[in-house]
Amino acid sequence: MPLCCKCDETGPSARLHACLHCIYMACWKGRHLHDHMEAAGHTFAMEMTTCNVFCLTCKDYVYDLDMERVLHSERDAPLSQIWRPLTLTHAPIIASQGLRGLRNMGSTCFMNAIIQSFIHNPLLRAHFLSDRHSSMLCPDKDKLCMGCEMDKLFSQNISHIPPPPSQFYCGDSKPYGPTSFLYAMWMAQKNMSGYAQQDAHEFFISVLNEVHIKCSGSRSHDTSDCRCIIHQVFSGVLQSELTCLKCGNVSAARDPILDISLDLKSPVKSAKKGKKKGGDDAAGKGDLAESSCSLIDCLER
């Protein structure tokens, strides 16, 4: 592990540089690199993480302009492409016995419940199965990207011939362990890391926020005009109204939401009345019928 020759500092935060004129290692953080180069009259040093060369005379790093142009063109190439749907004329028919099960990888049932809700959402399914966010074309494909993790759950990897099947729509009946999905969330949300039981609702909101950031490319808190798949599917406006009892004036406040908590009505059982042989009514002895509760009923409560 390289260390600063003056303060023994190490790690990415120290930004260690190796002097190209002598055997000396110094950190940028404490300006020990500048002190050494000015005292020794040395001009060039190499940054240990990126291998960029620093010039003391011009107070800047030396860049290869041709390499920078190639790098930017490769990085921006997927973003400049116009999305076109796949023009497949034939697809193999896969026998299906239902979706795959999910393994519990040690108190991860909260994550499995949320993944199942995503998998069964028809709008999310249509978005990712139509290749709107491809894990092969994403500029962050070599990093941890929650948009790519969602794509891997739904879509097929188009870089192989023949393409391997998606995780859930492949007809495989063996349980699947979403390890990469869990690891990506650990790295994105440090409070979610570890094998302790987590709150499913908190995990749900965290996943939505991370997928929104990757699919929209914005970390702005103003999401009123966001057209990413997350806000098209899950966003809404909650209107709260306050009525003055004296003047009758109504003031309304509107708050953006990604979820809403609904009260479920307790099941009401109605007993069919019958008669005993003696003619007396017998309440509660017949069949019990539970009243149904729809989403509209919950919203109107």
Q: Which amino acid is located at 210 in the chain?
A: E
CB environment 42-68: b (16+ within 10 A), e (fewer): bebbbbbeeeebbebeeeeeeeeeeee
Beta strands 250-257 and 25-27, pairing class: unpaired
The model's confidence at residue 80, banded by pLDDT at 50, 70 and 90, is low
Across residues 95-103, what is the average pLDDT?
Answer: 70
Domain borders along the chain are 12-62, 109-234
Mean pLDDT (whole number) for 229-249: 90
CA distances from 141 to 49, 53, 138 (A): 20, 27, 5
- CB-based contact 175:103 (threshold 8 Å): yes
CA dist 120 and 128 (Å) reads 12
pLDDT in tens, 127-160: 888 878 887 778 877 788 899 899 888 864 333 3
Contact yes or no for 210/136 (Cβ under 8 A): no
Q: Which residues contact 108 (CB under 8 A, 6 or more apart)?
A: 182, 195
Residue 42 pLDDT > 90, yes or no?
Answer: yes
Rg (CA), the chain: 30
Does residue 3 have a pLDDT over 70? yes
Answer with the residue of higher pLDDT: 125 or 50.
125
Q: Is residue 284 scored above 80 in pLDDT?
A: no
- Percent helix / strand / coil, the chain, rounded to 5: 35, 15, 50
* Range from 78-87, 189-198, 240-249 that averages highest in pLDDT: 240-249
Question: β-strand 281-282 against 269-271: which pairing, if any?
Answer: unpaired
269-271/288-290 β-pairing: antiparallel
pLDDT in tens, 175-192: 888 888 999 999 988 888
Q: Count of CB atoms within 10 A of residue 107's CB?
A: 12
Q: Considering only residues 97 and 47, tell me which one the structure prediction assigns the higher pLDDT.
A: 47
- Per the structure block, which two tokens stand in for 219? 């970390």
Give the single-character DSSP code of 213.
H
Q: Is the pLDDT of residue 288 over 50?
A: no
The arithmetic mean of pLDDT across residues 6-28, rounded, is 86
pLDDT at position 101: 82
Judge contact between 2 and 23, C-beta under 8 A.
no
- Residue 172 identity (one-letter amino acid): D
Q: Is the peptide bond before 162 cis (omega within 30 degrees of 0)?
A: yes
Q: Residue 30 pLDDT more than 70?
A: yes
Q: Strand, helix or coil at 83?
A: coil
pLDDT exceeds cutoff 70 at 233: yes
What pLDDT does 18 receive? 92
DSSP string, 41-66: T--EEEETTT-PEEETTTTEEE--HH
Per the CB < 8 A criterion, the answer to whether 145 and 184 are in contact is: yes
Query: Predicted confidence band at 21 (pLDDT cuts at 50, 70, 90)?
Result: very high
Q: Which of 238-243's residues contact partners 24+ apart within 8 Å by CB, and which partners? A: none
Confidence of residue 81 (pLDDT cuts 50, 70, 90): low
CATH number, domain 12-62: 3.30.40.10
Residue 73: pLDDT over 80: no
Which of 83-97, 184-198, 213-227 has the highest mean predicted lDDT (pLDDT)? 184-198
Average pLDDT over residues 217-244: 84
Predicted local confidence at residue 285, as pLDDT:
46
Task: Report residue 201's pLDDT band, with 50, 70 and 90 as the boundaries.
Answer: very high
What's residue 7's pLDDT? 86
The whole-chain average pLDDT of the chain stands at: 79
Alpha helices (runs of H) in 92-199, residue ranges in sequence order: 109-119, 122-129, 146-154, 179-188
Which CATH number fits the domain 109-234, given the four candidates 3.90.70.10, 3.30.70.980, 3.40.50.2300, 3.30.1490.20? 3.90.70.10
